[in-house]
């Protein structure tokens, strides 16, 4: 694990770590390497991945509309709104 990788991960996750937090993360990754070696011993070549532990399929819903929440309620805890919109600093495309 390189500092460069950490920096990239900070950007990717919109976080800024202090130096001691970076050390902490590096230590965590170092342990992970050992863990991975242990996992490599488990043969999974013939095993399908398991995303869901219960082998059920999706139950679809019918295409019906219901509006149960008001904009006022949804925006009650918003840091900044204007004319019914949430607001952010100007985004340049």
Q: How far is the CB of 48 from another protein (least distance, A)?
A: 6
Q: Which of residues 8-37 bind another protein (CB under 8 A)?
A: 8-17, 21, 24-25, 27-29, 31-32, 35-36
DSSP one-letter code for 82: E
Residues between 66 and 85 that touch another protein (CB under 8 A):
66-69, 71, 73-80, 82-85
For position 3 contacting another protein by CB under 8 A, the verdict is: no
CA angle in degrees (0–180, nearest 5) for 53-59-62: 160
Rounded-to-integer distance, Cα 74 and Cα 66, Å: 15
Tell me the C-alpha distance between 64 and 87, whole Å. Answer: 30
Q: Which parts of 33-62 interact with another protein (CB under 8 A)?
A: 35-36, 38-40, 42-44, 47-54, 56-62
Structure tokens at 29: 């990754």
């Amino acid at each position: 694990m390189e500092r460069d990788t950490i920096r990239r991960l900070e950007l990717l996750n919109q976080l800024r770590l202090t130096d001691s937090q970076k050390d902490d993360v590096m230590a965590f990754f170092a342990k992970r390497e050992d863990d991975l070696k242990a996992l490599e011993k488990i043969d999974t070549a013939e095993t399908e991945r398991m995303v869901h532990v219960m082998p059920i399929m999706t139950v679809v819903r019918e295409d019906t509309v219901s509006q149960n929440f008001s904009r006022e309620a949804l925006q009650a805890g918003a840091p900044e709104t204007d004319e019914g919109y949430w607001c952010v600093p100007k985004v340049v495309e």
